[in-house]
Structure 1
Amino acid sequence: MLGAVETRSVSPVFVGRDDELEMLDQALARAGTGEPQTLLIAGEAGVGKTRLVEEFAGAAGRRGAVVALGGCVEIGADGLPFAPFSAALRALRRELPGELAAAAAGQEEELARLLPELGQARAGRHDEEGMARLFELTARLLERVAADRTVVVALEDLHWADASTRHLLAYLLRTLRTGRLVVLATYRSDDIHRRHPLRPLLAELDRLRTVRRLELRRFTRDEVARQIAGILAAEPDPDQVDDIFRRSDGNAFFVEELAVAAAEGGCAGLTDSLRDLLLVRVEGLPEPAQRVVRVVAEGGSRVEYRLLAAVARLAEDDLIEALRAAVNAGILTPTPDGDGYRFRHALVREAVADDLLPGERSRLNRRYAEALEADPTLVPADERATRLASYWYHAHDPAKALPAVLDASVEARARHAYSEQLRLLERAMELWDAAPQEVRATLRPVDHAEVYPPCGRDPQAAPLRYLDLMAEAAVAGRFCGERERALQITKRALRLLQDEGDSSPGSQPGPGSGDSHRAAWFWIQRSRLVQSLARGDGWRELATAQELMRGLPPSEVHAEVLANVANWSMLHAPGPDALSAAERAVEYARMVGAREIELNARLTLGGLTVDAGDVEAGLAEMREVIERALAEGVPQVAARAYVNLPSELESVGRSREAVPILEEGIAFTRRFGQVDSEAWVWGNLSDSLYSLGRWDEAARAAAQALSVGHSAKPQGTGAFKLAHISLSRGDVAAAARHLAAGRAHFGTHDPMPQQWIPEARVALGVAVGEGRFLDAREALVRALDAGFPPGTHRYAWPLLRAAATAEADARALPAAAPGRAGILERLTEAVRTTTTGAPVWDAHQQWARAELHRVTGRDTPDLWNEVVTAFERLERPYDLARVRYRLAAALLAAGDTDRERATELLRLAHAVASHLGARPLAEAVALLAQRARLPLARDPRPASADPADALGLTSRERDVLRLVAAGRTNRQIAEELFISPKTASVHVSNILAKLGVSGRGEAAAVAHRVGLVAEESGDRLVAG
């Protein structure tokens, strides 16, 4: 609008910063190889951060990179949620419209929370993973956009960043894995005082290997001289350089101001006051220009031209002339999009704003608010509610501010900016008493309180209550991680309900049943918060909520209480009471039409049904929940189902069936950004892969659970699984480290059987590995004292078997003799009474009994043969190898009558142990073979010998194996051999067990290797 203007104070010569530019260029080069780079650029106000970013951005653009700039926007003392990311994504959309659209395909509704141009943000219930889901999708979006081109994302002025922006930045820098991406972020180091909210983020980022920090120093005297020469377009007088260097202390911005003042003849009389230095050129402007500058200072870090025109109330020609004067003086500058104006440097804006009188500031904010109310199109749609709320709040008008702040909180919630929603709701609570009653009476919960629980009132007709704000704030605090604040709000709300009968400020007491519903709802929130803060297990709070609902008719709150009780019981105390609560939760949710609660309760009911022994009915219920959740678009329930259904399949030994569901679950949870659910899925996948003998994959899955998890518990689960794998491979030190990490993640305040039983098993194994047998026994005793509730047998059997094995291995140790009789009695009773109900746990029970017989030297080959037979029917190669080793040892102990079979058993066990890297088992097998003088290596045999005999295969199994190696399916094998597909499947399972392999591909490879199948056949191997 103003045309070309000159800014004399900015040097056309870029001074210094050679080392910093080199670091940035190196980062750009590394990013070009697909390794994301992050640099934090710190420096005091005015030292030249923005100029460095601009110079680098220009150079990167000339080298073919796409540059997207975004800055934190300050309005008064408030920051706009996600402002720098929205601006950067908007810039990417302008530069790469097709690429960004392709990268966002399928997730436009979610990503629209950051970039409204993508479409309408998805409506629906919010949840604890909402923000993490948005963050995950944003990270993957940037990775996809930067897959084939280098992208530079520059985020300026982090010291003004809102909490949601800080959280998103931290998430991105932790999780960006691939892409030709450079992330730059600038902040004022001199503003980061001890309690500044950016300080914890900086401390966290300093610990990341992928993040480097650049601290910009002040200029030297020579650099100041070069800067002044660039500004004046002439060589400066040395005395003048000395004077400016002394007074500026090398700060680039102060050098500019002093150089211009000197050129205009004003330097000599200028005081050393920072405020005077910053205001001297403002005070030299014509009065209309000064007035416009003051208006811009109070409007925020940038102000749109049309909004400025409405607030300044000048004739258009006068406004343009005033702006021209301010721009020519280097005070204001047009915004990059050409739509408005900002101060050339924020220090000047702060000085001008601080110079305003209190009444003047209130009046300007009122004029901004009135202008925006009269014409909402004056500012971008995604900023409108937040800016209007800020203007009215700083205008000190509670009647106008309260509705505006509440509207802004709804907008923040819709964008998953829960930190800002919480801040706005707390501001609304601050304004509540000051706002007139007639204003409060016009507010409705249906408009301003999404979490409003039905309490016998019509939300369309009833006025908003103070407790509605507290309910919304408590949930916002939980969602954004401000759990301590949320807990305090919840406690305060419960005190109001108890002490005042809901006679909160400005409200009337409600009906008794309504208050009971509301109190029960707050107790549910308190239970969740207590658990997440590791202050307890949350049961006392849930029990209080359940008692409040006793005798009341069905309602959504009642259904939610029952669903939470059932889920808590499933995790902590499964049994008939938990099953009953789940059934009632389903019934109540159906009666009141609470579909999401119903699906969650049905999922819990399905799991409890499996644990109760009705396996097929429970699994069928869980499968239907997944189908319904996917069909009805309830990703939160679907994500939980992808965790729980495979877990139940694993609990009954159906690991191969669980793996594809888990892989599907990983894709689903990643697509929808369900970060914690993804971590749980990775943990469960590690379990199933371990069972199937795919240990390298299992370790990678457990590591993923650790790195992906947002919350402590899934991370702790990943650590325990890594500890278990390390133990099996004989790395006791690594197992001990992972055990300690898992315990730290879980804490001690919320013990659950699915956590403490595996922990006890690993602790026992570590203690045995370190020679601390009595500590191992103590870990077992603690577990036996706690007991194994129904449904926890999947965790109990590995512990009982490990304990029995440890006692048998230590039978000759003198230190183990005291107390052995009592331990064996308790172990025997536990083995007798712990639930089986599935072939895998029947097999473990037989194994544990055999180990208990070994303690007293009463184990026999027949006993171990039954155990081996039981495991040959299962896909558990490591377990099968271990019991084969035990059978071989029993055969050898019984005499030399069956040395040939013992040899073959040891060979098979050693092959599996070597393949898995199970060093303790491999060494034990080798030692036993050495003592018995049995060869583990096979003797070369004549070409005419049949290798099937050495493998222990029957004639029919040999025929089946040849067809497996030829790539035939079970149905094709059945047709060719004139048997049923089921019989073919049994033969294949027996072959896998005898060979000690986990799949058809490995079996085919063995067949080729030993010459059972001719290599020249050219048949394709099919991995099963």
Structure 2
Amino acid sequence: MAAASAFYDIVDLASHTAVSSAFVGRGGELTVLDGALRRTSAGEPSAVLVGGEAGVGKTRLLQEFLAMAEEAGAVTALGNCLEVGAEDLPFTPLVTALRRLHRDLGTDLERAAEGSEGQLASLLPDLGGPGHTPDDEYGRAQLFQHTVNLFEKLAGDRALVLAIEDLHWSDRSTRELLAYLIRTLHRSRVTVVATYRTDDLHRGHPLRPYLAELERLQGVQRMELERLARPEVERLLAGLLDTSEPDHRLVGWIYERSEGNPFLVEELAYSYHDKEAVGLDNSLHDILLVRVEALPEPAQQVIKVAAGGGSSVEHVLLSAVLDLPEDDLFDALCAAVSAHVLVPEAESESYGFRHALMRAAVLDDLLPGEHSRINRRYAMTLESHPGLVPAHQWAGRLASYWYLAHDPARVLPAALKASREARRGNAFAEQVRMLERALELWEQVPDEVLRELRRYDWPDDAYPTAVEGDDRTADAGRLHFVDVLADATVAASRSGEPERSVRFARMASRVIDETAEPERAAWFWLQRARAAHSQGDTGEEESERARRLLEGRPPTAVQADVLSQISLGGALTHPSREHIAIGERAVRIAREVGASAVELHAQVTLGMLCVFLGEIEAGLALQREVLARATEIASPYLQARLHVNLSAHYEQLGRSSEAVEIAREGLATAHRNRLNRLSRARILGNLVEPLLAQGRLQEAEAALTSSLEDTGGMQRGDDLNRLHAELALLRGDLAGAIDGLARIPSSQQQQPQRMLSRADLAVRIAARSGRFADARNELLTAIEDEIPAGMDHYAWPLLVHGAVAEADSRGLPDADVDRGQVLERIRREAQRLSRAVPLYEGWAYMLDGELARAEGRNTPEVWVRAVEALRPTGRPYPLAEALFGAAVAYAATGAREEAGWLLREAEEQARKRGDTELLREVTALAERARLPLDPSLFAEAPAAPTEAPDPSATLDRPDRSGT
């Protein structure tokens, strides 16, 4: 009989041999799912995460819900995560679900996918798309966005349910795409349901933080199925044993043994009913094998081979591996299906086990070496007949089968092929896993196998290729090993794991002869520099090492890239004219060798340097010009870099409204193109900063609240931790501010802007806490070395707040010691800073006022100049501080009217900013100086003293420490 005909005969047999019609104890959970579907039908997308231990009934609940949804007119699609090679087969459940949708919807799905076939090729290969999506971060972004567009179109006029089973076996790419769908389908009639096993989630399982972050999203519910109570077990047994009242003693025995687990209830009932009570006193392992051991030997052999092939095995593959006569195979499969051990799946023409627990018991019962021999048979069959499995799974499954067969020489080429497939599918995490597997086995592979390997598409445009013919030399194994490390270095970076990227690059550095292969060695040092930069370090040492390796050599893309990175490192640490010259050289070399991407990035860095070195408008114009080019050529990561740069520049220059506008534009681009977590976190930080400066605290808090969600669950970076602390400080939550500060490393190896920003926060928190000695230490540590050029935006507030702490601590025990030296150190640093824009000018006058206050002098006119300089910025910060400083100075001279008006405006700006502490200080000063904050009461205020005030007198600023 034909294979297809035999399979569907077995499917027909299975439809007449259901285990039980009883569905008990899940009414509440079914109601939750029904409610989610109703909300979806009304246009509100939803997601339900269903957890529970193995055998508790997740699959049965899902089946009931999907049937109910279909009766209500919804379209449903189910995809299963596979156990074999689970983390090596990217997007498998989504591919399965979309194939089912294609089968059910036909031309409707094809119309919805029209124009996106190439971008969707890795998920919908059946459509025959050209698959031209680039295998980089942008290609991944396109895949995610086009998938969202597809679901939006399919659910335009009907509810659609996407169900994913066994999420605990999912690959990282599937998890990330599923999370993106849940976050992005804001107005679509889509319900996502995913099941997972709670007893599989060990402490380090990647699903644990993933589920926690998803649960925070709007429209996401999470529920866990409990075991059945005794009355529910009794009802289930009544259905299984076909009796209205099962024996109470039997119910008690089974309830005690199963502890209410529905799958175990079924297996115990089977043991009792069909095997005359055999199994009630046996171990769980024996109970799970009762069905198998009751079958004829051929059926048992089929079940063992099926178990070795994975949680699901295609009929044609299983047939080929078993190589039995057709009739014998058919009889054995029928017996396994009739006994409810194997379950046929019509859509994929495959078999799975009725439950994973049963498959685990079968595998555990195999003889030593039997599992590896079964996997060898699968691998050899797949090598000879690739068409037996879906094309997108072939490489990954072949590599997994050879790996489980313990054959390194066969695993290596298969794993490398699977890694290339993963990269082409933009599944970088899975690519890294396969490359790690290859590297792990490298030393176990014979040299002749290594020499037979062929190089493949390079991981990076600038990666230096070997000399022609080198891949056939005796040294080929080492050369190929380095190539694999290069691929892994880039893949880890693209998957958002800079630490792993550095680890691979270090491995390469240990095996490369830098004298013989300077280009390749420099390329790896460059990757290490980039990884360091992405983690907030300078990467300067790594970049310089790469440059030294290339000195005096002909121009290459690597050389241009290294020079560009050095220029960037300088811009972020100690910008100078020398770094402009280095950047200009990088641009020239990049143009000469045709490295356009390197050229554009080098130009961005030149724009940054111009801004930092005082050529502000020229630098901004250059970056806006490159942004236009990046938008024109659809380069989202270059766009993201420019959005980060420009928003930061505008905020640093006091142009907060423009900073908010460009940051929001960048965030929209990042979402649209599904950029990586780091890019999104940086843009978010650059949005929050100007929002805080403008007093738009609710918007800033909303952005910070969404930061964990938006960045896919990553830990908050230093910038976001600092901004959380800033917000807490504004609201008077000193403990929250201290907690946020504690999360930020204090190392001076950080980029200067991060180090200075952290120091400014630390100075203010220490002073607010009454720890003035700590405030002084934080300040002096931060300015121990000269503040680099271009850091004016970060340096001015640090110096001002350091001076505030010195002024506020006047007269306290031991606080006056060495104050003169500290104030002089502050003055020296201030003389080196720019006053080129109104914001800097305002800070400079504020510093003069605080230094005078720290020395016991009174300078109202300086504070007035600060106010006049800051008003044009349109920001309440630091205008509110300047107004308050002016009010303090005028009140000390007895100029009550001037002090009153300034204090009332300070209160207005402090309220606009939401500055709780400054409002407290304003109120305290008003009470002490008898200055009414309500303008209508000013005329009734007590008259000023008739005695002329002492010009040298001061009115102490209210003590911020509260002491």
Q: What amino acid is aligned across from residue 507 of structure 2 in structure 1? A: R
- The corresponding residue for 2:25 is 16
Residue 795 of structure 1 deviates from its aligned partner by 0.8
- The corresponding residue for 1:777 is 776
Bigger RCO (CA 8 Å, 6+ sep) = 2
| Match 1:913 to one of 886, 910, 915 | 910
Take 1:875 and 1:270, find their aligned partners in 2: how far apart are those partners?
Answer: 79
Q: What amino acid is aligned across from residue 473 of structure 1 in structure 2? A: A
> In the alignment, is the contact (CA less than 8 A) between 2:600 and 2:626 conserved in 1?
yes
The 5 A counterparts of 1:317-328 are: 319-328=329-338
Residue 671 of structure 1 deviates from its aligned partner by 0.6
- The corresponding residue for 2:80 is 71
- The corresponding residue for 1:791 is 790
Q: What amino acid is aligned across from residue 12 of structure 2 in structure 1? A: A
Specify the SS of the correspondent of 2:352.
strand
Q: Give the number of aligned pairs.
A: 919
Residue 901 of structure 1 deviates from its aligned partner by 5.8
| Match 1:83 to one of 72, 76, 92 | 92
Residue 602 of structure 1 deviates from its aligned partner by 1.6
The 5 A counterparts of 1:269-348 are: 272=282, 274=284, 276-285=286-295, 289-314=299-324, 319-337=329-347, 339-348=349-358
Residue 831 of structure 1 deviates from its aligned partner by 2.1
Take 1:708 and 1:251, find their aligned partners in 2: how far apart are those partners?
Answer: 38
Q: Specify whether residues 421 and 929 from structure 1 end up closer, same or farther in structure 2 by C-alpha distance, changes over 3 A only.
A: closer
Residue 576 of structure 1 deviates from its aligned partner by 3.6
Specify the SS of the correspondent of 2:873.
coil
- The corresponding residue for 1:715 is 717
Q: Specify whether residues 858 and 98 from structure 1 end up closer, same or farther in structure 2 by C-alpha distance, changes over 3 A only.
A: farther
- The corresponding residue for 2:679 is 677
Residue 614 of structure 1 deviates from its aligned partner by 1.3
Residue 637 of structure 1 deviates from its aligned partner by 1.2
- The corresponding residue for 2:614 is 613
Does 1:471 find its partner at 2:486? yes
Does 1:550 find its partner at 2:560? no
- The corresponding residue for 1:410 is 420
Take 1:610 and 1:176, find their aligned partners in 2: how far apart are those partners?
Answer: 40
- The corresponding residue for 1:969 is none
Q: Specify whether residues 699 and 133 from structure 1 end up closer, same or farther in structure 2 by C-alpha distance, changes over 3 A only.
A: farther
Q: Specify whether residues 341 and 722 from structure 1 end up closer, same or farther in structure 2 by C-alpha distance, changes over 3 A only.
A: closer
Higher mean alpha-carbon deviation, 832-841 vs 632-641, is at 832-841
Residue 364 of structure 1 deviates from its aligned partner by 4.8
Q: Specify whether residues 27 and 741 from structure 1 end up closer, same or farther in structure 2 by C-alpha distance, changes over 3 A only.
A: farther
Does 1:601 find its partner at 2:602? yes
Q: Specify whether residues 239 and 158 from structure 1 end up closer, same or farther in structure 2 by C-alpha distance, changes over 3 A only.
A: same
The 5 A counterparts of 1:644-723 are: 644-674=645-675, 675-705=677-707, 707-709=709-711, 715-723=717-725
Take 2:732 and 2:935, find their aligned partners in 1: how far apart are those partners?
Answer: 32
> In the alignment, is the contact (CA less than 8 A) between 1:720 and 1:739 conserved in 2?
no
Higher mean alpha-carbon deviation, 884-893 vs 105-114, is at 105-114
> In the alignment, is the contact (CA less than 8 A) between 1:79 and 1:160 conserved in 2?
no
5+ unaligned residues in a row in structure 2: which ranges?
1-7, 939-963
Take 1:672 and 1:937, find their aligned partners in 2: how far apart are those partners?
Answer: 52
Q: Percent identity?
A: 45
Q: What amino acid is aligned across from residue 779 of structure 1 in structure 2? A: E
Specify the SS of the correspondent of 1:445.
coil
> In the alignment, is the contact (CA less than 8 A) between 1:41 and 1:215 conserved in 2?
yes
Q: Deviations over 1:40-71 (max 9, x none)?
A: 42213x34332233233334544566544222
The 5 A counterparts of 1:205-604 are: 212-217=222-227, 220=230, 223-235=232-244, 236=246, 251-260=261-270, 262-264=272-274, 267-268=277-278, 272=282, 274=284, 276-285=286-295, 289-314=299-324, 319-337=329-347, 339-355=349-365, 364-395=374-405, 400-433=410-443, 435=445, 437-447=447-457, 453-455=463-465, 457-458=467-468, 465-480=480-495, 486-497=501-512, 501=513, 515-528=517-530, 538-604=539-605
- The corresponding residue for 1:802 is 801
| Match 2:57 to one of 48, 54, 68 | 48
Q: Deviations over 1:350-402 (max 9, x none)?
A: 44445556676556545544554455443223212212333344455555443
- The corresponding residue for 2:953 is none
Q: Specify whether residues 926 and 282 from structure 1 end up closer, same or farther in structure 2 by C-alpha distance, changes over 3 A only.
A: closer
Measured on the aligned residues, the alpha-carbon RMSD in Å equals 4.3
> In the alignment, is the contact (CA less than 8 A) between 1:47 and 1:253 conserved in 2?
yes
Q: What amino acid is aligned across from residue 624 of structure 2 in structure 1? A: R
Residue 642 of structure 1 deviates from its aligned partner by 0.7
> In the alignment, is the contact (CA less than 8 A) between 1:92 and 1:100 conserved in 2?
yes
> In the alignment, is the contact (CA less than 8 A) between 1:622 and 1:641 conserved in 2?
yes
Residue 615 of structure 1 deviates from its aligned partner by 1.4
Take 2:705 and 2:228, find their aligned partners in 1: how far apart are those partners?
Answer: 44
Q: What amino acid is aligned across from residue 657 of structure 2 in structure 1? A: R
Residue 792 of structure 1 deviates from its aligned partner by 0.3
Take 2:79 and 2:933, find their aligned partners in 1: how far apart are those partners?
Answer: 67
- The corresponding residue for 2:948 is none
Q: Specify whether residues 842 and 155 from structure 1 end up closer, same or farther in structure 2 by C-alpha distance, changes over 3 A only.
A: same
Residue 606 of structure 1 deviates from its aligned partner by 1.0
Q: Deviations over 1:573-608 (max 9, x none)?
A: 333443343333323332332222222222112101
Take 1:206 and 1:873, find their aligned partners in 2: how far apart are those partners?
Answer: 44
Take 1:530 and 1:645, find their aligned partners in 2: how far apart are those partners?
Answer: 22
Specify the SS of the correspondent of 1:567.
helix
Residue 116 of structure 1 deviates from its aligned partner by 4.6
Q: Specify whether residues 885 and 223 from structure 1 end up closer, same or farther in structure 2 by C-alpha distance, changes over 3 A only.
A: closer
Specify the SS of the correspondent of 1:719.
helix
> In the alignment, is the contact (CA less than 8 A) between 2:142 and 2:673 conserved in 1?
yes
Residue 928 of structure 1 deviates from its aligned partner by 5.5
Q: Specify whether residues 612 and 105 from structure 1 end up closer, same or farther in structure 2 by C-alpha distance, changes over 3 A only.
A: farther
Take 1:937 and 1:660, find their aligned partners in 2: how far apart are those partners?
Answer: 36
Specify the SS of the correspondent of 1:74.
coil
> In the alignment, is the contact (CA less than 8 A) between 1:909 and 1:925 conserved in 2?
yes
Take 2:344 and 2:56, find their aligned partners in 1: how far apart are those partners?
Answer: 21
Specify the SS of the correspondent of 1:4.
helix
Take 1:126 and 1:743, find their aligned partners in 2: how far apart are those partners?
Answer: 36
- The corresponding residue for 2:960 is none
Take 2:131 and 2:397, find their aligned partners in 1: how far apart are those partners?
Answer: 20
Q: Specify whether residues 187 and 885 from structure 1 end up closer, same or farther in structure 2 by C-alpha distance, changes over 3 A only.
A: closer
Q: Specify whether residues 855 and 404 from structure 1 end up closer, same or farther in structure 2 by C-alpha distance, changes over 3 A only.
A: closer
> In the alignment, is the contact (CA less than 8 A) between 2:254 and 2:268 conserved in 1?
yes
> In the alignment, is the contact (CA less than 8 A) between 2:53 and 2:197 conserved in 1?
yes
